[in-house]
Amino acid sequence: MLRFILTIIILKIGTNMMMDHTLPAMTENIVEEAPKFYVLGEKAGKYSKLYLKEAIENDAGYQFRLNVDSVELSVGDVHKINVLESDEISQLIEFNYINTYSSTSTYKVINNKIEPVSYRINSNMGTGIIVLFLIIPAYVIAGSIVRYIRRQFWHA
């Protein structure tokens, strides 16, 4: 029983350490270094998820300024897009992408032109897979701790 409890504690500590270690938001060279930076475009009354490069070129005639405060885009996955700031000239928009990883793209729309502000990967499905691989080492470490405690305190 003690071994099981220690295994859970070790896994919890390891998981918390992995989750707390996220990369800082990218704010420079976003076009080149963040190929999965998404923006929301509207065309003929329909919303579409677009890559940043595609949106900057805007050959298809999308409108990027939103007429609403938030949009929930369901395209197999659910993505949330929120207008953070808005005035007559510009809008600051946050696009939360959720699939096998979670990311946040923040961009400014000025005169229907996209200006990337920041990009952050919030979590990755790979983190959960790593935890699965840590179960056996955590169980072995917990067993070593239990044996050490027994030798030190019960056989003294």
Residue 105: which H helix or E strand, with range? Answer: strand 101-110
Nearest-angstrom CA–CA distance, 19 and 123: 8
pLDDT in tens, 44-99: 989 999 999 888 887 778 999 998 999 988 877 778 999 999 999 999 999 998 88
pLDDT in tens, 113-124: 999 999 988 876
Nearest-angstrom CA–CA distance, 40 and 66: 9
Please give the model's pTM, rounded to 2 decimal places: 0.67
Give the domain range for residue 39: 2-154
> Which pLDDT does position 56 carry in this prediction?
87
How many independent structural domains does the chain possess? 1
Contacts of 8 (CB under 8 A, 6+ apart): none
Rounded mean pLDDT of 34-51?
Answer: 90
Helix ranges (H only) for the chain are 2-20, 30-33, 52-57, 125-149
**Of 17 and 46, which is predicted with more confidence?**
46
